[in-house]
Amino acid sequence: MTVSPPSPPRDSVPDESLGAGAGTWTSRTTRARIASGSLRLDAWWVGPATTAVVLIAFVAYSSWRAFENAYYYAPPYISPFYSPCLATNCVPGSDLGTVVGDWWKLSPALLILIFPLGFRLTCYYYRKAYYRSFWLSPPACAVAEPHRRYTGETRFPLILQNVHRWFFYIGLIFNVILTWDAILGFRNPQGQWGHMGLGTLVLLANAALLWAYSLSCHSCRHAIGGRLTHFSRHPLRYRAWTLVSQLNGYHARFAWISLFGVALADLYVRSVASGAISDLRFF
């Protein structure tokens, strides 16, 4: 491998405050003239490739389930992909109120999935993940990207990523609903309280993971402690901001675990509703 010498420095512009010739001025930067795309010797491509495979698999599964329009309610459990069920064509007992009238003939999941999907699609961590995996921008640290220009998120459509904070607020509403679904799991199929099955634990775990993912979000951290000039004047918000900041360090982990959690919760409900398995009842 041949490494070319670095490009010569550009013209220097004197800094009057520091004396003539004190600094070097440049209007732009260029990449080092390295023939190879990267000097890394490790398998740096494994991470982006794995991310791409997992995300494609999740999109394929969730799309299939959303259009299947079946096996999403096994009393007292409802799939997180279909909750809240707002259409009149929902399975009896699964709806949260027929907000949408008879005009909606498609799967009720298509009415609500845009919100949790929008929350994850605009998430700061997921943006990093799929920018690297699908757009190679950049593929990995210290690996040259194939794009000649970089405009960031200043142009359409990427400028729409700024709606993430609003999807975060809507996501909190969904977390409350899914937590209520988990509480309803303490009933038996006849609607009597004081019972519990394996599906109850599955829905409780899913709700807990979604709360962990949401509360560790960067937007949550900003909403709690942002725009404060003096933390000393807001001790409660500072304490909450400190706790959320600790969770924020695990945000990427919660993002992946909760993604698998919501898919497995849906798979469990589908398996019970279709008769593939029976719900294990504890009491």
Q: pTM of the predicted model, to two decimals?
A: 0.83
Query: pLDDT for 91-138, tens place per residue?
Result: 888 777 677 878 888 999 999 999 999 999 999 999 999 999 998 888
pLDDT at residue 32, as a whole number: 60
Structure tokens at 127: 């943006």
pLDDT at residue 88, as a whole number: 86
Phi, psi of 281 (to 5 degrees): -95, 130
pLDDT at residue 30, as a whole number: 62
Q: How far is CA 273 from the centre of its chain?
A: 27
Residue 156 has, within 13 A of its CA and on its CB side, a CA count of 0
pLDDT at residue 21, as a whole number: 46
Structure tokens at 234: 């807001």
Residues lower than pLDDT 70 in the chain: 1-37, 97
Radius of gyration in angstroms for the set of CA atoms belonging to the chain, rounded to a whole number? 25
